[in-house]
Amino acid sequence: MILTRRLFNGAIVAAGLLTAGLLSPASADTTVPFTEQAFKAAQASGSPILVEIHADWCPTCKAQKPILDKLTAEPKFKDLKIFRVDFDAMKPVVKQFGAQMQSTLIVFRGSAEQGRSVGDTKQASISALLDKSL
């Protein structure tokens, strides 16, 4: 069998993609769509909670996603319950949380709000916000 340059390059690219997929950090996406019942249950259990006011079209929300994925994969956030509120489709819930815009992150410890941020895309400050839920 003759190994052509095209076949060799294809094999190198495929191996690189496979390796990258295997070596990428495991990220268990624990984000769930918001429901009043699930949110109340998480509050009642005293769990740390993140409410993410999100819009799919929002560039800031897209920038927050990999940061949140990385941070919430850390062992200290293993019990963090993450609820995603669709900014466009869930206007009454957005209003309930007093959010003025998408890309709002709100953390709770049980039923008590511990902090919030709007439009933040800095890993250090998002991490500090999530720490307030613990």
What pLDDT is recorded for position 23? 38
Q: In sequence order, which residues have a C-beta less than 8 Å from that of residue 18 and are 6 or more positions away?
A: none
The boundaries of the domain holding residue 65 are: 27-131
What pLDDT is recorded for position 30? 72
- pLDDT (tens digit per residue) in 57-92: 999 999 999 999 999 999 999 999 999 999 999 999
Please tell me what DSSP assigns to residue 119: S
Contact 51, 97 (CB under 8 A): yes
The number of distinct structural domains making up the chain is 1
Q: Is residue 19 part of a domain?
A: no
What pLDDT is recorded for position 2? 57
Q: Is residue 5 part of a domain?
A: no
Three-class SS state of 56: coil
Domain containing 105 — which CATH number?
3.40.30.10
Q: Is residue 54 part of a domain?
A: yes
Please list the rounded mean pLDDT of every run of 10 residues in the chain (134 residues).
54 48 44 90 94 96 96 93 96 96 96 96 96 94
What pLDDT is recorded for position 17? 42
Q: In sequence order, which residues have a C-beta less than 8 Å from that of residue 83 and are 6 or more positions away?
A: 31, 32, 33, 34, 38, 39, 42, 49, 50, 51, 52
Three-class SS state of 75: helix
Q: Is residue 2 part of a domain?
A: no
**What is the model's pTM?**
0.77
